[in-house]
Structure 1
Amino acid sequence: MEAIIVGLGVNYAASLAITFTNKWILTNLPLPSVALVCYHFACTFIALYALQLLGVFAPKHVPAKKILPLSLTFCGSVVLTNLSLKYNTIGTYQVLKCLADPLFIVIQTVFYEKRFSRAIKLTMVPMIAGIVINSANDLMFSKNGTIAALAAVLVTSVYTVWVREKQEELNLTPMQILYYQAPQSCILLLPVLFLELVLSGSEISLSTFIPSDDLTKGMMLVNGLSAFTVNLLTYWIIRHTSVITYATFGKLKLCTTMLIGFIKFNDPLDTYQLFGIILTMLGVFLYTLLKLNIFNHFKMSYSKMINSNHQV
């Protein structure tokens, strides 16, 4: 349990770092968003290659076609998520993204015969309701936006479930599976990157991708290391907990990031948004209690106390 808590904490810190550096890089460098994703997976592969040379892990031979479904769904998730962000407001994007939570349960129940208690399912109600309330003032649905968002939710849900299932099916550790999936995904995204450059009409030379000053080099280095850490720990957390736990942790990251922005950077936060955050955090808290079996612990302690009183 201690290892999982540490893993979640490091993942959260790395997520904050990658969010900040992504924003800085995309603001100061004329890079397409897909180029940044390719850079992230290139850094992940380079780091893993160095670790296997140092003997930290041993690569396990796996046919490329076994990893290909995972890589394809990842690339589909990136492209469709970008389309969803393009056609939707942030609030609409967040609300439709919540559909992934029940879809996780449906996919795992129908295709992998996994079962979830009613209590676990009910904790999703305040989590999703909180996100909806928080985003209510920014909802604006359109045909293209809704189609892109629903497609992104479907493909991302399948990818996230496969992150766990493929590790178990192929008997691979997070490092071993990422060692193959990272370069494969990067190569598959290159045609998308080329198309994005052509459609945008951008005149980007090779020098654009090579940082010239120390600040940019530092930001790119931190960004690459953060991407490697987030990618690796995402696989590790999903493997050692569950898809639902990781999705719940994602909502915790979203809420705390908004609160940090409000407290530290004076980002606007209305009363109803604060209520939505509290409601979502309540769902996260209840889910955590259920996973830690706290309710059963209290129930057993109460029963023992009653029995001992009767014996007296």
Structure 2
Amino acid sequence: MAQIALIAPAATVIPIITGRGKQQKLSYAARRNKVSLASLVPSWRLERVPRLALSNNNNSGDDRKTSVVVKVSEGGAISLPHGWSAQKEEEEDQISEGLKKMKGSNNRFFTVGLVAAWYSSNIGVLLLNKYLLSNYGFKYPIFLTMCHMTACSLFSYVAIAWMKVVPLQTLRSKVQFFKISALSLVFCVSVVFGNISLRYLPVSFNQAIGATTPFFTAVFAYLMTFKREAWLTYLTLVPVVTGVIIASGGEPSFHLFGFIICVAATAARALKSVLQGILLASEGEKLNSMNLLLYMAPMAVVFLLPATLIMEENVVGITLALARDDSKIIWYLLFNSSLAYFVNLTNFLVTKHTSALTLQVLGNAKGAVAVVVSILIFRNPVSVTGMMGYSLTVFGVILYSEAKKRSK
């Protein structure tokens, strides 16, 4: 789009008269004696007008307010006031292009940084959970989950109420409150079961089972909403399930109880996503992920507190006793809990700054990265059969994502 730039005294009143006789008057305090008329002349008019720089030949140094009239006809002719000459200006184009490139580069760096933070927090909290529950010997997964939810409650309030990361969305009714409570309960089950499974299974096998989430999502969506997918979508779930069966047969550290609990955690995760779509389907009840966490996390603490006291008796006293012998346990819990919130924050930001397709691809790759990193850190034995099974599962998930995208 062509523009008109006017070099004028420091303060200028510029009436613009179009070919149809309409007149606009705007006053500009020009920086460096330069006034841009891009916002004054209608865009349909600018398309016909060549880019010009109009320079004032009056060098008297008078900075008083002056009045200049520029007429733009429908054919694109310009009537210049007396004492003003026209010349081509290319420097402004170069500056504009440079600023656009710089902005695009900064956006790319910001997005890459977000993805790196998302990967680091996701894999970090997973590996730290495994270390605490299995290697370190802190055998209290419910209490650990309650620490996570407590941190999410505090940080969510700070981020939304004080820092205004996103606008606060209020609950509109008791019905909406009970719906979110149900989601919070299912969410608690998925997280607690996932943490319990880490006591018995290596992270690599845990991630292989977790990759079957699309299978359970499709099953629950059909059972609860009678929603049917295209036959090709269901067909892509075959390698997803087959890969886990193969990986289970070739897993050197296979544990039946851990396997069952991990499958239950994966199913609960899928059930939560389906329930969220059903319970918060109306426009008035929809919440973004940050606000949903703000309400779900405190409810989760309420659910987890009695479970902790009953099933993990005297866990607080045991933790304090451990801290007297090794103070690092307190820092582990604080850092792990903070990281659990950071997972949700970065997930929201990555979702906001990338496309849905990019998020799917990044999510699939994240599981594979977590498997490799966990094997390098914990040195758990893996078999060729197990890796082939996991690879088949990931391949099935990619096919499933493609099939869902085409069906839409």
- Taking a change above 3 Å as real, the CA distance of residues 269 and 104 of structure 1, as seen in their structure-2 partners, is same
The aligned counterpart of 1:307 is none
Q: Distance in 2 between matches of 1:122 and 1:214?
A: 52
Output one character per residue of 1:43-91: Cα deviation in whole Å (capped at 9) or x when no partner.
11111111121222333222432311111222333455567778x8679
Amino acid in structure 1 at the alignment position of 2:387: L
SS in 2 for 1:269: coil
Shift of 1:6: 7.7
Counterpart of 1:187 in structure 2 is 302
Shift of residue 95 of structure 1?
A: 8.0
Tell me, yes or no, if structure 1 residue 60 matches structure 2 residue 169: yes
Determine if contact 1:94/1:135 at 8 Å carries over to the other structure. no
RMSD: 4.4
Give the letter for the 1:185 counterpart. A
1:47 is matched with 155
What is the identity percentage for the equivalent residue pairs of Structure 1 and Structure 2? Answer: 23
Q: Is the 8 A contact 1:17 1:222 kept in 2?
A: no
Q: CA deviation at 1:283?
A: 2.2
Task: Point out the structure with max Rg over C-alpha.
Answer: 2
Equivalent residues in 2 for 1:115-154, closer than 5 Å? 115-138=228-251, 152=265, 154=267
State how far apart, in whole Å, the 2-side matches of 1:229 and 1:145 are: 27
How many residue pairs were aligned?
286
**Which residue does the alignment assign to 2:58?**
none
**Closer/same/farther in 2, CA of residues 56 and 30 from structure 1, 3 Å limit:** same
Q: 1:174 is aligned with what amino acid?
A: S
Aligned to 1:73: 186
Contact 1:12 1:253 in 2 (8 A): yes
Q: Which has the higher strand share?
A: 2
Change (3 A) 1:279 1:145: closer
Note if contact 2:250-2:386 (Cα within 8 Å) is conserved in structure 1. Answer: no
Contact 1:32–1:196 (CA<8 Å) still a contact in 2?
A: no
Looking at structure 1, the residues matched to 322 and 168 of structure 2 have their Cα atoms a distance apart, in angstroms, of 30
Unaligned runs of 5+ in 2: 1-107
Please give the secondary structure, in 1, of the residue aligned with 2:241.
Answer: helix
> Partners of 1:268 and 1:151 in 2: how far apart?
24
User: Which residue number corresponds to residue 37 of structure 1?
Assistant: 145
The corresponding residue for 2:29 is none
| AA in 1 matched with 2:162 | L
Instruction: Please point out which of 372, 379, 396 is paired with 1:259.
Output: 372
After TM superposition, the score normalised by the length of structure 1 is 0.69
Match of 1:197 among 312, 323, 333: 312
Rounded to whole Å, the distance in 2 between the matches of 1:84 and 1:222 is: 21
Partner of 2:132: 25
Residue number among 171, 182, 189 corresponding to 2:286 in the alignment: 171
Quick one: distance in 2 between partners of 1:140 and 1:260?
19
After TM superposition, the structure 1 stretch with the greater mean CA deviation from structure 2, 174-183 or 269-278, is: 269-278
1:111 pairs with 2:111: no
Instruction: Write the deviation string for residues 265-299 of structure 1: whole angstroms up to 9, x where unpaired.
Output: 65432221232233223224434544666xxxxxx
Give the structure 2 partner of residue 279 of structure 1: 392
Q: Normalising by structure 2, what TM-score?
A: 0.55
Give the whole-Å Cα distance in 2 for the aligned partners of 1:55 and 1:129.
46
Look up the equivalent residue of 2:118 and give its one-letter code. Answer: N
Shift of 1:181: 0.6
Q: 1:45 to 1:209 in 2, by over 3 A?
A: farther
Deviations 1:214-262 (A, max 9, x none): 75555334312320122345678899859xx87x976654433233344
Inter-CA distance 93–175: structure 2 relative to 1 (3 Å threshold): closer
Q: 1:273 to 1:107 in 2, by over 3 A?
A: closer
Amino acid at match of 1:35: F
Shift of 1:160: 2.9
Distance 1:73 1:31 in 2: 22
- For residues 47 and 209 of structure 1, the distance between their equivalents in structure 2, rounded to whole angstroms, comes to 26
Q: Which has the higher helix share?
A: 1
2:246–2:385 contact (8 Å) kept in structure 1: yes
Deviation at 1:94, TM superposition (A): 7.5
Relative CO higher for 1 or 2, CA cutoff 8 Å, sep ≥ 6? 1
Could you say if the C-alpha distance between residues 29 and 174 of structure 1 is closer, same or farther in structure 2, counting changes exceeding 3 Å? same
Shift of the 289–75 alpha-carbon distance from structure 1 to 2, 3 Å rule, reads closer
Aligned match for 1:268, one of 370, 373, 381: 381
> Please, which runs of 5 or more residues in structure 1 have no aligned partner?
294-312
Aligned: 1:11 with 2:118: yes
Decide whether the 8 Å contact of 1:127 with 1:281 is kept in 2. yes
CA contact (8 A) 1:77 1:152 kept: yes
